[in-house]
Structure 1
Amino acid sequence: MNRKPRILGIGIATMDIYRHQKRMYPGGNEYNVAYNAALQGIDAGFMGIFADDAAGRILEKTLADAGIDTSHSHHEKGSSGYALVDLRDGDRIFLDWNRQGVTDLYPFTFTEEEIAYIKTFDAACISWGARVGADKIRKLAGAGIAVCYDFYDNFTQEDIENISPYIKYAFFSCSHIDEEETRGVLKECVRLGARIAVGTRGSEPAVAYDGARYYSQDICKVTAVDTMGAGDSYISAFLSNYLSAEADEPLSAEDKITISLKKAAEFAAEVVVKDGSLGVGYDVDPENLSKIINI
């Protein structure tokens, strides 16, 4: 292989503020995917909207320090996204969040120059929360971009029908439905156009489908410190390993998926024993957020 695979996250950069710790942790779905891809030796980029406040500068610097390209991110006046969080037995509880951050106010339109940049990556990762609708995903797919889409756990049949024809990799959070229902969701997504669909199921085995067969992968059991970012880390590890295997290993298609699912489970287990999504944190006074965020 002449080069490493390249993964781009397009979407959310936010600050998770843990009131009980007086610490804040950079995160956001695609932000986490990019950061974790870089940890695994992948060439990673992030394309998001950074606000002109202290939190925005910290969010961008955290990525730069990890060697992640942010050259096509936008900078806008306004507020960084944030969530005020408490933890209970390792599970996150959201107390408040910013409903009008810069990602909401200044969504990407994807110029010709931006599309040319995105095409230099092997996969562009987008989620339901990235403010990138089906019309824009269709535009990216029409330009030949391999889109990875995270449907979250609040997906609808309409979402599956509108998005699946234009994506290559699909991820669903399926802990609220049983295995049979999960298989049905994945099968429908692949029938409509996705190459591979994966459903994570909390503490139950993940399920994947590629149009030919189903795959199952147990979780790696650890005592979770913080589940924030677990799903994002799973996506990042699956893609990082799948793209590496696809480019460099003389493996069968089935083996590539099986290995990638196993590596994803192992990597997610490493992430849930860290604080925050990434284990990178900064001190903050939760009662005085206006010092760091344009509230």
Structure 2
Amino acid sequence: MRLIAIGDNVVDVYKDRNEMFPGGNALNVAVLSKQYGAEETAFIGIVGNDAEGEHIIESLKLNKVEISKIRKAYGESGKAYVDLNDEGDRIFVKSNKGGIQSKLKLKLAEDDYDYIKTYDVLHTSIYSSLDDQLEKLSGAIPISYDFSNHFTDELLRRVCPYINFAFVSGSDYSDEEIEKLMNKIHELGCLNAVITRGSKGVVMSDGTNRYNQGIEEANVIDTLGAGDSFIAGFLTHRLNGNPIEESLQIAAYRAARTCEVHGAFGFGKALVG
């Protein structure tokens, strides 16, 4: 299984620890999928020409993620400032709204499309500003998309016809709301709908069957990246040919292990300045 992730990347800044960790949904899925057994993963995104950008690039290299198509631009890399509550749940305090990548929209060229076609699945997210290119991409490769919990009905209508896997954060949703949401995702053309519910576990539909997966026990110190870890674990295991039930269980296990480290996958570095 070979996965390419395109889009958002940041450093997650923990001021209380005086550390920054590489992160962002698309970047995390690329790194974690490689750690979880993908034959190869790649990442395309825009980073700044600052110390944070260098740390992002170095972390990708150390995790053996292919970055030949990454863009480096003059400006500030994305930053998210994070606090943790007493239970280890991450709280986003503020951000620079993606830094330079929010000012320079990622535009894929024809050679990028040729490159992307060599992979088995593409993962991107609501924060990756790739929505207007999904139609063309969908003709080349299966697409996984993380809607987080900030999506709208209009976004679902715009994205779902072109994707194969929809991941949604829905910890506050009732069973009835989840059923309605999954049906809507399917009606709009996406076959696989996965709703993560925090401590309530996960509900998935493949259009025919419903699946429920509970959480795995963990010594929680930091929940940052747990959802991204679940996505990476599920996609890697499922697209390596394993059954849905087993893939969900492995994904829950991976998410639990992520809760036991700071940052989505470690690689902390002291803050600059």
Write the letter of the residue equivalent to 1:154.
H
CA RMSD of superposed structures (Å): 1.2
Q: Does structure 2 retain, via aligned residues, the 8 Å contact 1:218–1:265?
A: yes
1:180 aligns with 2:176: yes
Write the letter of the residue equivalent to 2:72.
H
Q: Does structure 1 retain, via aligned residues, the 8 Å contact 2:10–2:98?
A: no
Q: Does structure 2 retain, via aligned residues, the 8 Å contact 1:175–1:200?
A: yes
1:36 aligns with 2:23: no
Write the letter of the residue equivalent to 1:84.
Y
Look at both structures and tell me which one has the larger radius of gyration over its CA atoms: 1
Per the TM alignment, residue 91 of structure 1 is displaced from its structure 2 partner at its CA by: 1.4
What is the aligned-residue identity percentage?
36
Per the TM alignment, residue 100 of structure 1 is displaced from its structure 2 partner at its CA by: 5.5
Q: TM-score, normalising length from structure 2? A: 0.96
Gaps in structure 1 of 5+ consecutive residues: 250-255, 289-295
Match of 1:259 in 2: 246
Write the letter of the residue equivalent to 1:139.
K
Match of 2:69 in 1: 72
Q: Does structure 1 retain, via aligned residues, the 8 Å contact 2:79–2:98?
A: no
Q: Does structure 2 retain, via aligned residues, the 8 Å contact 1:227–1:272?
A: yes
Q: TM-score, normalising length from structure 1? A: 0.89
Query: What are the Cα deviations for residues 187-219 of structure 1, in whole angstroms up to 9, with x where unaligned?
Result: 211222112110000100210001111110011
Write the letter of the residue equivalent to 1:165.
P
Q: Does structure 2 retain, via aligned residues, the 8 Å contact 1:103–1:131?
A: no
* Secondary structure at 2:183 match in 1: helix
Query: What are the Cα deviations for residues 82-113 of structure 1, in whole angstroms up to 9, with x where unaligned?
Result: 01222112112222211251211122221111
Match of 2:90 in 1: 92
Match of 2:211 in 1: 215
Per the TM alignment, residue 152 of structure 1 is displaced from its structure 2 partner at its CA by: 0.6
Per the TM alignment, residue 54 of structure 1 is displaced from its structure 2 partner at its CA by: 1.2
Query: Partners of 1:109 and 1:185 in 2: how far apart?
Result: 31
Write the letter of the residue equivalent to 1:23.
E
Gaps in structure 2 of 5+ consecutive residues: none
Q: 1:281 aligns with which of 254, 260, 268?
A: 268
* Secondary structure at 1:203 match in 2: helix
Per the TM alignment, residue 182 of structure 1 is displaced from its structure 2 partner at its CA by: 1.1
Show structure 1 runs of 4+ deviating over 6 A: none
Q: 1:81 aligns with which of 78, 83, 98?
A: 78
Q: Does structure 2 retain, via aligned residues, the 8 Å contact 1:191–1:211?
A: no
Query: Partners of 1:100 and 1:147 in 2: how far apart?
Result: 22
Match of 2:233 in 1: 237
Q: 1:224 aligns with which of 220, 228, 231?
A: 220
* Secondary structure at 1:129 match in 2: coil
* Secondary structure at 2:201 match in 1: strand
